[in-house]
Amino acid sequence: MGCWLCNPLCGRCKPPWRKCICPECGQAVLVEKKKYLAADHINCDSCGADVTDVIYVEPVKCGFSGWWCAYPCGKSKRDYSEEHGRCTLNTPIKASPIAMARFDFSKMNA
C-alpha cells in the first residue's frame, strides 16, 4: 500500500516523492516524481522486485479543478462545490505510462 510523503510547508501540494514498502524484502522504496511519471514500471532498489502495483496511485477527478489527474495531491479530495480553480500542477493521465497502462478509462464517462 503506497502513501504520500507530506511536506508540511507545501500543504500536501504535489509531493515530490512516492513511497511504498517492497512486499518481497520489506525495504522502503522512494521514487521521485519525475521517475514515477517517466517509468512504465518501478523496481525495488534493494532486491529488484517489481513494486509498480504497490506504488501505483489511480488517477482521480480532482475536487479542486475538476480535471483528471495522474499524480493527485491533497487538493484532489476537496468538494468541487466549495472552492475550485485552475490547477497549474495537474498531471494528465497521458503523461504517465504507468497510469495509461492501468487506468480504466470507462470511469471517465461515469
So what's the pLDDT on residue 83?
A: 63
pLDDT: which is higher, 12 or 85: 85
* Domain count across the chain: 1
**Residue 13: pLDDT band by 50, 70, 90 thresholds?**
low
So what's the pLDDT on residue 109?
A: 82
- Nearest residue to 26 (alpha-carbon basis) of 47, 4, 56, 12: 47
Place of cell 489527474: 69
Q: Kindly list the distances between the CA atom of residue 54 and the CA atoms of 1, 23, 32, 38, in Å, as whole numbers in the listed order.
A: 5, 8, 15, 17
Range of the domain at 54: 3-109
Beta-sheet pairing, 28-32 with 60-61: unpaired
Q: Strands (DSSP E) along the chain, which ranges?
A: 3-4, 17-21, 28-32, 60-61, 68-69
